[in-house]
Structure 1
Amino acid sequence: MREIADRLAAWNDAGVRYAVAVVVSVRGSAPRAPGAAMAVSADGEAVGSVSGGCVEGAVYELCREALDTGETVRETFGYSDDDAFAIGLTCGGTVEVLVRPGPFPASALTHDEPVAVAHLMDGSGILTVHASHHTGTTGRADVDQAVVAEARAMLDAGRTGIISVCAARGGTTPHTPRQLRRDDVEAFVHSYAPPPRLLVFGAIDHAAALARQGSVLGYRVTVCDARPVFATPARFPGADEVIVDWPHRYLAAEAERGALDGRTVVCVLTHDARFDVPLLKVALRLPVAYVGAMGSRRTHHDRLARLRKAGLSDGELARLRSPIGLDLGARTPEETALAIAAEFTAARRDGTALPLGQINGPIHHDRAAVAAAQ
């Protein structure tokens, strides 16, 4: 969708009527992923693509019909051996396309900031969801709240897909058509953001386990260490990239090029002052979501003294999670990785890290939604 956003914004400004078709799901082989889009204006101009050519003509006609009727249409295109002239995908896959009349909130996509767009599958509305606010409404506050919370979580993880929100029951579920109930509302959420980053410093066994855990949680994982003999891709198959560099220098360079944001997690596992102190001096002054450091309590107190001597303030030091992780009784690298991931998940989601049975209130909550309601 982002590739046609400028054109849609221009149509919005000019008052041009148009319809938009978006790929909302794919099964098997398909030429385009969910989120691929085509738009057709009232005068017949088409921009974008949903299939690379296979079903473009049929989708074009669906857009023209949506302009005439004002109705939202959901259509599935697959492959048929029975009819050589049937409209479908030659690759053998199946795509589901949502077609709805405009306008579309295109201006939100013309900037670089992360944003998620939630299309209600019944055509009842479009919500544009940012990290701290949202625009648009479905006309129901409970549906808005549920969709915004789920869209924000998907934006954090850089994920796109169909969800069903159970507004009447106060929760959300993945897209499972056979389990839909009468009060469920489906939405297609398209995230326009890269996955959050997990930066793991220190090429040790715990780092390998944490890289795997981070990958499962949807992070783009980087492992960095200054020692080339240890920092090898073969030792960290769960990482998206393995960097050989001085940790503080690498982190400063990533910050300088704008590759970090408020979702970024920094885990320092070196527990060696030569690496820790210069690295944490940089990390604790960056607007990232979480900074944690491994080590014993004795190492922690020694590290704090060194960081104070290096010029960090009490406020900066208060951001440090050390010793890293929650008290799960972890022993193995895998258990330790789980304890660390649990802590930075709680930090990012504003969780209490307490057993759910010991607290009151909603199980699923969203910091920005709660703040907006107050």
Structure 2
Amino acid sequence: MSLAAFLEASPRVIAVRLTRVRGSSPREAGTEMFVAVDGFFGTIGGGQLEYMAIDKARSMLKSGEIATEMDVPLGPEIGQCCGGRVEISLSLMSGDARTAAMAAETRRLEELPHVYVLGAGHVGRALSDLFQHLPVRCILIDNRAAELGMCGAGIEKRLSVMAEADIRTAPAGSAFIVLTHDHALDFLLTAEALARHDAAYVGLIGSATKRVKFERFCAAGASKADTHRLVCPIGAVGRGDKRPEVIAAFVVAEVMAALTEMVRSPEKTAE
């Protein structure tokens, strides 16, 4: 459910916001969640802290209290061991507050990193199933409508006969995972993605032998791609298990690590 749908279904909602964090805590200052009588949207980190905040928010909805604050030590007394301390503001959402929250959510969604899964075969579909639950915008691309139709994930599915054009127009900091049904097409798309010096991740499915062949393809003058930036084999830490779902799990971990590192060191996308 989207935030807009949650707010539309809930006439009275308490906004719960971490206003100050000292020491270790499950989430950072500025994190918000929204609590209604019969549901909530978002999280401030789970555990006893979140339970206490939800309980207080619902108590406010019942009593009619408009705003309050909480100062919570994250220690043994509440059954958590983070060791920090958080301050929380809780307030009944006005119409303006709802509008502002939805605008902030729209900006957040627009700023999500793009992950391009190039190939809708078994591994491509398994990747899509996992990425749909993560804070990314996943785009599954293939030139075969039937394969795209087999993907049930709630991600963008794009029928394209020139996926290299999709790569060229992708925003900076995107991740590209190449796993089509054709090795020649794999090489073309991988070279195109590596030509994007601002890519956060470029991965090519296959063995070490396939990587060598791709490097020879580039050395022969077919591409000037910097193959040192290529991840191939992908999901190498799980090498030996070729089940699509297992491969996908390891690759998703690789991609998310690369995207996280990009956020911490944005200058790396310009290298």
TM-score for both structures, normalised by structure 2 = 0.63
Instruction: Determine the structure 2 residue equivalent to 1:30.
Output: 7
Residue 175 of structure 2 aligns with an amino acid whose one-letter code is V
1:244 partnered with 2:141: no
Flag the 1:30–1:342 CA change in 2: closer, same or farther, 3 A.
closer
Residue 7 of structure 2 aligns with an amino acid whose one-letter code is A
Flag the 1:28–1:208 CA change in 2: closer, same or farther, 3 A.
closer
Instruction: Determine the structure 1 residue equivalent to 2:210.
Output: 299
Instruction: Determine the structure 1 residue equivalent to 2:179.
Output: 269
Instruction: Determine the structure 2 residue equivalent to 1:212.
Output: 129
1:95 partnered with 2:6: no
Cα deviation code 1:141-178 (max 9, x no counterpart)? 7589x626979xxxxxxxx94526xxxxxxx9797142
- Offset at residue 201 of structure 1 (A): 0.8
% identical equivalent positions = 22
Indicate the structure (1 or 2) with the bigger Cα radius of gyration. 1
Distance (Å, rounded) in 1 between the aligned partners of 2:234 and 2:134? 18
1:200 partnered with 2:117: yes
Cα deviation code 1:174-202 (max 9, x no counterpart)? 97142784322337995523232221111
Flag the 1:211–1:187 CA change in 2: closer, same or farther, 3 A.
farther
Cα deviation code 1:98-137 (max 9, x no counterpart)? 8xxxxxxxxxxxxxxxxxxxx654xxxxxxxxxxxxxxxx
Say which SS state the counterpart of residue 210 (structure 2) adopts: helix
Stretches of structure 2 that go unaligned for 5 or more consecutive residues are 33-40, 54-70, 74-84, 91-100, 266-271
- Offset at residue 334 of structure 1 (A): 0.6
Residue 210 of structure 1 aligns with an amino acid whose one-letter code is L
- Offset at residue 265 of structure 1 (A): 1.6
Distance (Å, rounded) in 2 between the aligned partners of 1:203 and 1:97? 40
Instruction: Determine the structure 1 residue equivalent to 2:140.
Output: 223
Whose helix proportion is higher, 1 or 2?
Answer: 2
Cα deviation code 1:203-234 (max 9, x no counterpart)? 21111101001111232221112234x4433x
Distance (Å, rounded) in 1 between the aligned partners of 2:253 and 2:30? 20
Instruction: Determine the structure 1 residue equivalent to 2:264.
Output: 367
Say which SS state the counterpart of residue 178 (structure 1) adopts: helix
Alignment of 1:87-236 (within 5 A): 93-97=11-15, 120-121=18-19, 142=23, 147=28, 161=42, 163=44, 176-178=50-52, 181-182=72-73, 183-186=85-88, 190=104, 192-193=107-108, 194=110, 195-228=112-145, 230-233=146-149, 235-236=150-151
On the 8 A contact 1:290/1:347 being kept in 2, the answer is yes
Flag the 1:30–1:175 CA change in 2: closer, same or farther, 3 A.
farther
Say which SS state the counterpart of residue 261 (structure 1) adopts: coil
Structural RMSD (CA): 3.9
Aligned residues between the structures: 209
Distance (Å, rounded) in 2 between the aligned partners of 1:173 and 1:319? 39
Distance (Å, rounded) in 2 between the aligned partners of 1:293 and 1:208? 15
On the 8 A contact 1:162/1:186 being kept in 2, the answer is no
Distance (Å, rounded) in 2 between the aligned partners of 1:29 and 1:298? 50
Flag the 1:92–1:292 CA change in 2: closer, same or farther, 3 A.
closer
Say which SS state the counterpart of residue 7 (structure 2) adopts: coil
Distance (Å, rounded) in 2 between the aligned partners of 1:29 and 1:349? 28
Flag the 1:175–1:334 CA change in 2: closer, same or farther, 3 A.
farther
Flag the 1:215–1:289 CA change in 2: closer, same or farther, 3 A.
same
